[in-house]
Amino acid sequence: MESQETVLQHLSKVTPSCEEEAKSLEFITQFVAEQPRYWARDTLVGHLTASAWITNAEQTKAVLLHHKKLDIWVQPGGHVDDSDESLAQASLREAQEETGLANLTLKQTEIFDVDVHAIPERKSEPKHNHLDIRYWFIADNETLTISEESNELKWMSRAEIEMITQEESVLRMVRKTLL
């Protein structure tokens, strides 16, 4: 995994689009500076996660999945593995695992969006924060393969997404990208 210093450099290049994202960026930056194992699931107060915002080339649709455990519509993403070379690589791995899309291209090499959200307590882990680092990918085809982590997986237009979710962090990415 990338060093704290490298991740802090990436974070310093993020330009928040709103006050909520600015607060998330500040929190994540401080967290990474203080936590040597900022990505590790065994950092129980929280850890960085990696997500992929996937659109078609025309920017008219994005991929969302209905998450089984959380029971909400979100972008593909998840935990960073120790073997991941970078947050961008973790984001790509999660995208491919959760969508079956093999040919994804980064739209921009830098971090696209950041978000902090609470994960409820479960049998095996306490309530904690996911500090989500998001990268924007373009898919060269629209053939999806659902994983066991999702109830549904589909391409949706801006209007369709706005009808099925009130999750501000998802809607923020819609506003940043979809026509």
pLDDT, residue 122, reads 83
Q: What is the spatial distance between Cα 92 and Cα 102, in angstroms, rounded to a whole number?
A: 9
Does the structural domain 4-177 have CATH classification 3.30.565.10? Answer: no
Please write the tens of the pLDDT for every residue from 94-122: 999 999 999 999 999 999 999 999 988 88
Alpha helices in the chain (DSSP H): 4-12, 19-34, 87-99, 158-164, 168-177
Q: What is the pLDDT of residue 123?
A: 84
Each domain of the chain, given as residue ranges in start order, spans: 4-177
2-52 pLDDT per residue, tens: 999 999 999 999 999 999 999 999 999 999 999 999 999 999 899 999 999
Residue type, 167: E
Instruction: Provide the pLDDT confidence category of residue 59 given band limits of 50, 70 and 90.
Output: very high
Tokens 């999750």, residue? 167
* CA count, 13 A, side-chain hemisphere, 99: 33
State the pLDDT confidence band at 69, using cuts at 50, 70 and 90.
confident
Question: What mean pLDDT is reported for the chain?
Answer: 96
Q: Does the model's pTM come out above 0.85?
A: yes
Give how far Cα 28 sits from Cα of 64, 68, 80, 85, Å: 24, 26, 15, 19
Give backbone dihedrals phi and psi of 21, rounded to 5 degrees, phi first.
-65, -35
